[in-house]
Amino acid sequence: MTRRAVMAAAATVIALSGAGHAGGHQVLDQLHFVIPGGAGGGWDGTARGTGEALTGAGLVGSASYENMSGGGGGKAIAYMIENAESLDNTLMVNSTPIVIRSLTGVFPQSFRDLTLVAGTIGDYAALVVPADSSVADMAGLLDAYRAQGPDFAVGGGSVPGGMDHLVAAMVMQAAGEDPIAVNYIPYDAGGEAMAGLLSGEIDALSTGFSEAIALAEQGEVRILGVTAPERVPAYDAAPTFMEQGIDTTFVNWRGFFAAPGTSDEKVAQYIAALEAMYDTEAWEVVRARNGWVNIWNPGDDFRAFLEAQETEIGDLMRTLGFL
């Protein structure tokens, strides 16, 4: 579906439903979210937060959720493809890992096997150290890294070659270090990685910015840098890497996909509901609570964004020897 067709159809849906602004009329009676991971993760929070805002604003009558862990997200993708004809009013949430795991062959499908609806939010990445660490900023971290060499460990809640590893490598490469030399310690989840940081198993933690904010507000970590182009209002005490002379930015997008073969009319309804959501107080409450950044990439814009990210991440993974 071309961008022009999507936008025209979405505009028609909004005009007919009156859902162009906050407090508008209902666009969808019901919406079901398929979540490729377990409860409490980033995908889960994005789906449930979006459903909360859509129903709270009256744009969707009711929302339901289905957690479908397995295969690094591959189980949910396969479900969407194999049951496409029966998945009316169903959206699957996903994010950067669909690009990474497709590149590395964790599952055989890619975003091209689904119907792209829209990228809706971004969550930047961050490097953190324990709150009582003597390392106060990225200059201090780089000094410690150079002094300790391979003994300096950076952990993350993803496998080697996963997003947390790639972010750490990207930052160190931009700081003039060899990204291959980074001693990355993988943990099964963010919680275990955080425990590793606090116990001294690792020297720094690569994690999502929203998770870092929560930990910083609890007094557990100090945020050394965030991959945003400028400071994020949700936690403006955190400096960017850019302002510390490390020229790197990165955003872990999150967005929604429909089953393959979904009609243009249905895609237009999804887009209309999500676009109208941005103007609602219900969405601002959810967004601010999670420290998310609004990004709006519907239809062909979403595809172009994903293809560009696929190229960038693929190049870095080849440098690191994962492809």
> What CATH fold (topology level) applies to the domain 124-244?
D-Maltodextrin-Binding Protein; domain 2 (3.40.190)
H or E element that contains 3 = helix 3-17
Domain ranges of the chain: 29-121+251-320, 124-244
Q: How far apart are CA 88 and CA 77, in angstroms?
A: 15
Pairing of strands 90-95, 28-35: parallel
Which pLDDT belongs to residue 123? Answer: 85
- What is the number of helices (H) and of strands (E) in the chain? 11, 10
Which residues is 119 bridged to in the sheet?
255, 297
Distance between CA 320 and CA 323 in Å, rounded?
8
CA–CA dist 236, 231 (Å, integer): 5
- 0.85 cut: is pTM over it? no
Identical topology for domains 29-121+251-320 and 124-244: yes
Place of tokens 């890294």: 145
Sign of CA dihedral 155, 161, 165, 171: positive
- What pLDDT score does 194 carry? 87
pLDDT of residue 322: 87
Consecutive 10-residue averages of pLDDT for the chain (323 residues) = 47 44 74 92 92 98 96 95 96 95 94 98 94 96 96 91 92 95 88 89 93 91 96 92 96 95 97 97 92 91 95 91 87
CATH homologous superfamily, domain 29-121+251-320: Bordetella uptake gene, domain 1 (3.40.190.150)
Identify the pLDDT of residue 253: 94
Cα torsion through 163, 167, 170, 171, rounded to 10: -170
Residue 41: the pLDDT is 79
